[in-house]
Structure 1
Amino acid sequence: MDRISLGNEEFEGRNNAYVLADEDDGIALVDTGVATPDCRVQLREELAERGYEFADVDDIVLTHHHPDHAGLAGEIQAESDATVYVHEADAPLVEADPDAVTSLEELRRESLSEWGVPADAREELLAFLEATSGVDGEPVDATPIEDGDVVAVGGRTLEAVHAPGHTAGLCCFEIGGASETRSGSDDAAHAGTEAFVGDAILPVYTPNVGGADIRVERPLETYLASLRTIVDRGYARLWPGHRDPIDDPAARALTIRDHHRERTENVLEVLTEHGPADAWTVSDHLFGDLEGIHILHGPGEAYAHLDHLRHEDVVTLEDGEYHLIDPDADIGEIVSSSH
């Protein structure tokens, strides 16, 4: 397995694409980078240094639909006829299915309105999305997969471990996979193995929840459950979508969980100090001025925590504003034990 670090100035920094190669099973990529001229040239050059071209790629495994991970998949597939695997929840978006795209756009508009995002900020976000629409790349002919599926690519077997939250269809891929005799429910059987995790866990940043994929219901709850899944499987090392490998997955997952506990406490402080507020107002107190994609991610993150608190009966939602009803709630217990 070989890691390629690709440039990406549109979103959250350098992306990883992973090359799996085998004389008999061919060449596979796990994620592809964003469809910008610079990234395209870089990926071609990096593959050429390893003796490959786009046309040589037999399989592409996508951790999720975001363009910084899937943007070049369609172009590579057009040159190579590669099979592109992606979770069934994200497949319609990488395929650019018109109904899925329209539904997402409508849901985004509704969410921005419900979160209280001002008209000028909404216009700025939509202008940013329009200006960067080319990074999505060419549509893909996807092969949908689901949790527990095993694909044989590049001399390895990869078991899909559905880990929604950052997106509805985000999957980790356990390297080595599950053999026919190993139970996918036996977490001990996975201990000591490694996995590609996309943006499920990142070594420095915390993956955005709430704004990164507004299709996800109960986004914080869903994401925390995915963190527990990853911890329970006892991986020895994780290969993320950005930056360097994670050599202590459990510790990193606990750090991210603690981050969400602290952020939830911060949300409560905003409501305590300033009274009822919508998600945009809470976001403003948490993050300050936002621009670009963060106009979506900021209030989305605030919404994820407010929504979680609402389902835990800590706040109530009335006319678009969240009202604090249990200021003494044990946030540590709510975040660590919610399911």
Structure 2
Amino acid sequence: MKRIQLGNAVFEGLNNSYVLGTEPDAKTTLIDTGVATPDVREQLAEGLTEHDLAFADVDEVLLTHWHEDHVGLAGTIQDAGGATVRVHADDAPLVEQDEEAWSAMNERQRDLLDEWGLPDAPREELLDFLDSHGELTGPAPTVEPFTDGARFETAAGTLEGIHLPGHAAGLSGFALDGDQGRELFSGDALLPHYTPNVGGADVRVEGPLARYLTTLERIVDGEFDRAHPGHRDPIEDPAGRAREIAAHHRERTGRVVDVLAETGPTDAWTVSARLFGDLSSIHILHGPGEAYAHLDHLAADGVVERTGREYRLVESDPDLDALFPSIATA
């Protein structure tokens, strides 16, 4: 397995694309592709060239989820040599650039921006940012959807697709039992230096924090020896990192309760401002989305109740540990 690091000036730093099968006559599988900007396309092409490969030599593309910095070049690669492109069924319509699916996504996003209480100025800044980055996605690929437990034969061995939703509805990792132990290509389900956004990164996900906590439990239970994330360097203790992220969300939920105790009933945008301060670009979506995910988690257990846009603290001293799996509190 070889890692190709790709630039990413729009989102959260370097992206990783992984190549399985670099030997002559081997089946070549690519996991994620980076955005479709000319410089990243050149970086990916150069990375493949180092292994005597070109876009046309890629036989299969496995995508961890629909975000542009993971799927942008999938259609370009498929056009070059007919590669099979696979992604979880929940994300397949977005990757195929289905107009109806994108329209529903955009409508849901607009509704939530209203529900979260975004003021006009940051809302306009966010929408301008989103409208100005159409170059991140290339031509639409034809996709073969898969579901949890699907198996893919590669030159490195059999990969198992593992559904890990939260950051995105269809986010999936790929597990490999090989010479180096049990490894996970984790996409953005598990990252080494920051926590994947939940709530704003994919507005289709219902109960986003609860879904993500289940994902973190599944990673712990998977007993992986190493994870290869969608951004930055390998994670040598995946279970430990999953526990750390779960504990971070437990702590953040406590901060949300403190904000509500101080301010009284308020909306997700106000909670976000207290948590993160001033926001710009994509973080205008991710900040209140994260606040919303935590407020939603509290509301599901009756700790807060929502009226219109505002959330009100119902329990003054809630048992927050009861809202989280043991991996967050051990």
Alignment TM class, shorter chain as reference: over 0.9
How far the C-alpha of 1:128 sits from its partner, in A, is: 0.4
- Corresponding position of 2:238: 249
Q: Describe the SS at the equivalent of 1:159.
A: strand
- Corresponding position of 2:195: 206
Task: After superposition, give the CA deviation of every residue in 1:250-278 in whole Å (9 maximum; x if it has no partner).
Answer: 11011101110111011011101111111
CA contact (8 A) 1:115 1:280 kept: yes
1:161-310 alignment, distance < 5 Å: 161-176=162-177, 192-310=181-299
1:117-136 alignment, distance < 5 Å: 117-136=118-137
Letter of the structure 2 residue corresponding to residue 231 of structure 1: V
Letter of the structure 2 residue corresponding to residue 139 of structure 1: A
Q: Which moved more, 1:164-173 or 1:45-54?
A: 45-54
CA contact (8 A) 1:20 1:155 kept: yes
CA distance, structure 1, for counterparts of residue 2 and residue 326 of structure 2: 37
- Corresponding position of 1:11: 11
CA distance, structure 2, for counterparts of residue 155 and residue 332 of structure 1: 41
- Corresponding position of 1:62: 63
CA contact (8 A) 1:67 1:137 kept: no
CA distance, structure 2, for counterparts of residue 218 and residue 14 of structure 1: 29
Task: After superposition, give the CA deviation of every residue in 1:103-162 in whole Å (9 maximum; x if it has no partner).
Answer: 101010001111111122111111101111220222110010000010113342110000
CA contact (8 A) 1:174 1:196 kept: yes
CA distance, structure 2, for counterparts of residue 116 and residue 251 of structure 1: 36
Q: Describe the SS at the equivalent of 1:290.
A: coil
Q: Which moved more, 1:155-164 or 1:255-264?
A: 155-164
CA distance, structure 1, for counterparts of residue 100 and residue 86 of structure 2: 20
- Corresponding position of 1:40: 41
How far the C-alpha of 1:192 sits from its partner, in A, is: 4.6
- Corresponding position of 2:142: 141
Letter of the structure 2 residue corresponding to residue 118 of structure 1: P
How far the C-alpha of 1:31 sits from its partner, in A, is: 0.5
How far the C-alpha of 1:91 sits from its partner, in A, is: 0.5
Unaligned 5+ residue runs, structure 1? 178-190
| Alpha-carbon RMSD | 1.6
Write out the 4+ residue segments of structure 1 that deviate beyond 4 Å after TM superposition.
22-25
- Corresponding position of 2:104: 103
CA distance, structure 2, for counterparts of residue 153 and residue 125 of structure 1: 40
CA contact (8 A) 1:312 1:334 kept: yes
Q: Describe the SS at the equivalent of 2:90.
A: coil
- Corresponding position of 1:28: 29
- Corresponding position of 2:313: 324
Same amino acid, percent of matched pairs = 55
CA contact (8 A) 1:211 1:300 kept: yes
CA contact (8 A) 1:25 1:155 kept: no
Letter of the structure 2 residue corresponding to residue 130 of structure 1: D
CA contact (8 A) 1:64 1:198 kept: yes
CA contact (8 A) 1:6 1:43 kept: yes
1:74-85 alignment, distance < 5 Å: 74-85=75-86
Q: Describe the SS at the equivalent of 1:26.
A: coil
CA distance, structure 2, for counterparts of residue 276 and residue 253 of structure 1: 32
Letter of the structure 1 residue corresponding to residue 149 of structure 2: G
TM-score normalised by L of structure 1 = 0.93
CA distance, structure 1, for counterparts of residue 321 and residue 52 of structure 2: 51
Q: Describe the SS at the equivalent of 2:236.
A: coil
CA distance, structure 2, for counterparts of residue 43 and residue 192 of structure 1: 27
CA distance, structure 2, for counterparts of residue 103 and residue 58 of structure 1: 32
CA contact (8 A) 1:159 1:176 kept: no
CA contact (8 A) 1:8 1:14 kept: yes
- Corresponding position of 1:2: 2
**How many pairs align?**
326
CA distance, structure 2, for counterparts of residue 319 and residue 107 of structure 1: 16
How far the C-alpha of 1:25 sits from its partner, in A, is: 4.3
**Pair 1:146–1:25, CA change in 2 (3 A):** farther
Letter of the structure 1 residue corresponding to residue 307 of structure 2: E
CA contact (8 A) 1:20 1:153 kept: yes
CA contact (8 A) 1:277 1:322 kept: yes
**Pair 1:192–1:156, CA change in 2 (3 A):** closer
